[in-house]
């Protein structure tokens, strides 16, 4: 089994030693309770780098006051087995006190954090940008891997890396799904049988939207309505948002060219997100 270290000094020393040996460092930041989606990031990182660090830290500052920070699932020994199998070299698993000591500094990315998930989770992206900056400074990787499932997070981190000149390549990786289409998420474990079935309305609705665009639909409004109607057909669902946004600005758009099509839906008490991207083609 690979080592799990708890302190900033330990992870820094381990990475320094690897770098002295000429190794290229890959980094996969996570909040633990790892599943196949995380595993795909680690496997990719291991195939493209010589030494892979996984951080396993449920970051308190990205959860709102009524969100699930306390109940967020944790299982470091299971995570350790998955990371070992996937080819990681070390896990950084700090306690909140190791990461935060009365900080007065926040990293805040403007505009693109105000729409979509940022509209209903106002402090979330400050928490993410700040902890990812700290982790980047602690681990000092050459490449860092993020899932496309958190599409807005990936876009925010790419912008932050550009704006703050982090010398790190950000690699976005595809969404990993269950066989029936549900996007893998640590929060899937919250679902009972009926809710698990109901949660399929997200991928079903998005598939419908994607087919419409692929068949030539140009109106974002029409696609958005079809997705919304499909989700609303599921009685256990409550929509937070259904949005079609410009891929760069993350502002709502009327076009279906160069867009992020994203949904956030409550199934019972749990909020799920899913999305797909339509790359821009010159018309």
Q: Which stretch binds ligand PAF (CB under 6 A): 100-108, 124-132, 176-184, 256-264?
A: 124-132
Which residue, 41 or 199, is less far from ligand PAF as judged by CB? 41
Helical (H) or strand (E) element with 176: none
Using only C-alpha atoms, the chain has a radius of gyration, in whole angstroms, of: 19
Round to whole Å and give the CA distance between 242 and 119. Answer: 12
Distance CA 134, CA 120 (A): 25
Report if residue 148 touches ligand PAF, rule: CB under 6 A: no
* List 14, 38, 56, 117, catalytic entry: 38
Q: Report the site for ligand PAF in 237-256 (rule: CB under 6 A).
A: none
Q: Is 41 in the site for ligand PAF (CB under 6 A)?
A: no
Phi first, then psi: what are they for 243, rounded to 5°? -140, 145
Count, residues near ligand PAF per rule CB under 6 A: 10
Q: Site for ligand PAF (CB under 6 A): which residue of 88, 117, 132, 265? A: 132
Degrees (nearest 5) of the Cα angle 82, 87, 88?
A: 80
Q: 38 an active-site residue?
A: yes
Q: How far is the CB of 28 from ligand PAF (least distance, A)?
A: 9
CB of 15 closer than 8 Å to CB of 135: no
Region binding ligand PAF by CB under 6 A among candidate stretches 14-22, 27-35, 165-173, 214-222: 27-35
94/135 Cα distance (integer angstroms)? 11
Q: Quick one: which of 150, 234, 243, 274 contacts ligand PAF (CB under 6 A)?
A: 150
In a 10 Å sphere around its CB, with 0-12 CB exposed, 13-18 middle and 19+ buried, how is residue 57 labelled? buried
Instruction: Looking at residues 58 to 77 of the shown chain, list those that interact with ligand PAF (rule: CB under 6 A).
Output: 59, 62
User: Which residues are catalytic, by number?
Assistant: 38
Chain contacts with ligand PAF (rule: CB under 6 A): 29-31, 59, 62, 128, 131-132, 150, 153
């Amino acid at each position: 089994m690979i080592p799990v270290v708890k302190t900033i000094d330990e992870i820094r020393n381990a990475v320094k030693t690897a770098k002295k040996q000429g190794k290229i460092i890959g980094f996969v930041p996570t909040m633990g309770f790892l599943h196949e989606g995380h595993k795909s990031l680690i496997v990719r990182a291991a195939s493209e780098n010589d030494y892979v660090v996984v951080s396993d830290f449920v970051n308190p500052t990205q959860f709102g006051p009524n969100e699930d920070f306390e109940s967020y699932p944790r299982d470091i020994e299971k995570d350790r087995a998955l990371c070992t199998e996937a080819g990681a070299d070390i896990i950084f698993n700090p306690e909140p006190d190791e990461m935060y000591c009365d900080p007065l500094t926040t990293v805040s990315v403007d505009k693109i954090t105000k729409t979509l998930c940022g509209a209903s989770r106002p402090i979330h992206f400050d928490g993410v940008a700040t902890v990812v900056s700290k982790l980047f400074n602690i681990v000092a990787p050459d490449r860092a891997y993020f899932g496309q499932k958190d599409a807005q997070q990936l876009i925010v981190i790419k912008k932050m890396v550009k704006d703050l000149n982090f010398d790190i390549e950000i690699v976005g990786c595809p969404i990993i799904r269950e066989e029936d289409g549900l996007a893998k998420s640590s929060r899937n474990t919250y679902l009972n049988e009926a809710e698990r079935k109901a949660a399929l309305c997200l991928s079903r609705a998005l598939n419908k939207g994607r087919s419409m665009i692929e068949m030539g639909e140009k109106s974002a409004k029409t696609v958005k309505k079809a997705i919304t109607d499909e989700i609303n057909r599921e009685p256990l669902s409550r929509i937070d948002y259904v949005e079609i946004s410009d891929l760069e600005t993350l502002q709502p758009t009327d076009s279906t060219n160069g867009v992020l099509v994203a949904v956030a839906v409550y199934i019972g008490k749990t909020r799920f997100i899913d999305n797909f991207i339509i790359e821009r083609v010159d018309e």
